[in-house]
Amino acid sequence: MRPETTNRKLMWWGVNLVVLLYAFVPVVWIVSLSLKNDATLNDGNYLPVAPTGQSYKAIFSNTDFLRALVNSIGICIISTTIAIVFGTMAAYAIARLDFPGKRAIVAMALLISMFPQIALVTPLFKIETAFGLFATWPGLIIPYIAFALPLAIYTLSAFFREIPWDLEKAAKMDGATPYQAFRRVITPLAMPGVFTTAILVFISCWNDFLFALSLTSTKAARTVPAAMSYFTGATTFQKPTGPIAAAAVVITIPIVIFVLIFQRRIVAGLTSGAVKG
């Protein structure tokens, strides 16, 4: 028995290694670019010959970048939270309840997620200037929620439909109150779906470039992807490759932390044992 487990473990480590290479080879290239100095930036080596922290120094002494980091984190956490709350409510209703207009709502959500966003930028800009939302946090949060909701509703209701809701009834028969039944039986089953969706929504917000660029004009609400396009080289024709790479590395860190926290929740949901009843 024992050598077999060792072999299986070795096999899985091998598989894991492939996944890690897949994920990190291009990422290490960005890290490497961020550590190169001006003289070696263009040398074509995968790893930096003489690593330097000058790019990181540059972005962390840039107050606009730090402000953008705060904006990104705040705006995306608020957007994700609200989108998940509204999305969960709607997805539960769509998956479990019978009410008029359900199909219309599903169709509408799909329609919104299908419309090319480039075409919506100009009218959205007009609306936001009219309501004084241009270049403010709510001015980004509200569209982010609206465009995250279709994805949230779709994925969540797909999950919710697969949950064995009979378990809830079984728990009630065992003497649990409806609230207890929901909290202890359904919630753990639903959590992997909710957190998966939260990660997707957060990342889509974090990555957004189009709205961040078009609906902001000052550093008050500008997020990191937009702020990066404001980075300039020493002169007009130089591209600040180093600082851009450094900023890319820096803004990947919060995402990794976010994913770390939430993927544990996914694991927690999966291993809570409730699946087996």
Partner 1 sequence: MTTTPAAATAVEDLAGDGTIEIARQRHTDAKKAERKLGLMLVAPAVVLMLAVTAYPILYAVWLSLNKADLRAPDDNKFIFLSNYVTVLSSPIWWTAFGVTMFLTVVGAVFELVLGMLLAIVMHRTIVGRGLVRTSALVPYAIVTVVAAFSWRFAWTADLGWLSPTGSAPLTEFWPSIWIIVLAEVWKTVPFMALLLMAGLALVPEDLLKAASMDGANAWKRFWMVTVPLIKPAILVALLFRTLDAFRVFDNIFILTSGANHTSSVSMVAYSNLIRGLNLGIGSAMSVLIFITTGIIAFLFIKLFGAAAPGSSAEGRR
Partner 2 sequence: MVIQRRTGAPRHPSRWAVMIGVAALLTSTAACSGGQHGTVVNLYGGTSGLGFDKIIADCNQQAAGKYTIVGNLLPSDADGQRDQFVRRLAARDSGMDLLGMDVTWTAEFAKAKWIRELTGEQKALATANTLQPPIDTAMWDGKLYGVPRTTNVQLLWYRKSLVPTPPKTFDEMMSMASKLKAAGKPYEIGLTAAQYEGYVVNVNNLITAYGGTLVNKDSSAPTVDSKTVQALTLLHRLATSGLTSSSLSNAQEPEVFADLQAGRSAFSLNWPYVLSAMRTANPSLVKDLGYAPYPSVNGGPPKVTLGGMNYAISKYSTHPAEAFDAAMCLRNQRNALSAALDGGDVPALATVFELPKFKAAYPMADVMLAELRTAVPRPVSPVYQNISTIVSTTLSPPSGINPKASADRLRTGIQDAIEGKGILP
Positions touching partner 2 (CB under 8 A) are 38-39, 41-43, 64, 70, 74, 77-78, 80-81, 84, 121-122, 125-126, 129, 136-138, 183-184, 187-188, 191, 195, 213-214, 217-221, 226, 229-241, 261, 265, 268-269, 272-274
Cα–Cα–Cα angle for 91, 93, 94, nearest 5°? 65
* 151 counts as binding partner 1 under rule CB under 8 A: yes
Least spacing, CB of residue 99 vs partner 1, in Å: 3
Given partner 1, partner 2, none, residue 243, with its beta carbon under 5 to 8 Å by kind, binds: none
78 binds partner 1 (CB under 8 A): no
Binder of partner 1 out of 1, 50, 173, 260 (CB under 8 A): 260
Least distance to partner 2, CB of residue 237, Å: 4
Contact positions with partner 1 (CB under 8 A) in 54-73: none
Asked if 97 is part of the footprint of partner 1 (rule: CB under 8 A), the reply reads yes
Residue 94 touches which member of partner 2, partner 1, none, C-beta under 5-8 Å by kind: partner 1
Minimum CB distance to partner 2, residue 38 (Å): 5
77 binds, among partner 2, partner 1, none (CB under 5 to 8 A by kind): partner 2
Full DSSP string of the chain: -HHHHHHHHHHHHHHHHHHHHHHHHHHHHHHHHHH--TTTTTS--SS-SS---HHHHHHHT-HHHHHHHHHHHHHHHHHHHHHHHHHHHHHHHHHH---TTHHHHHHHHHHHHHS-THHHHHHHHHHHHHHT-TTSHHHHHHHHHHHHHHHHHHHHHHHHHHS-THHHHHHHHTT--HHHHIIIIIHHHHHHHHHHHHHHHHHHHHH--HHHHHS--STTT--HHHHHTT---SSTT---HHHHHHHHHHHHHHHHHHHHHHHHHHHHHHHSSGGG-
Residue 274 interacts with partner 1 (CB under 8 A): yes or no = no
69, 155, 198, 242: which one contacts partner 1 (CB under 8 A)? 155
Among 66, 163, 167, 176, binds partner 1 (CB under 8 A): 163
Q: How many CB atoms lie within 10 A of CB 111?
A: 10
Could you tell me the smallest distance in angstroms from the CB atom of residue 251 to partner 2?
17
Residues of this chain, 182-241, that bind partner 1 according to CB under 8 A: 192-193, 196, 199-200, 203, 206-207, 209, 224-225, 228-229, 241
CB 78 within 8 A of CB 141: yes
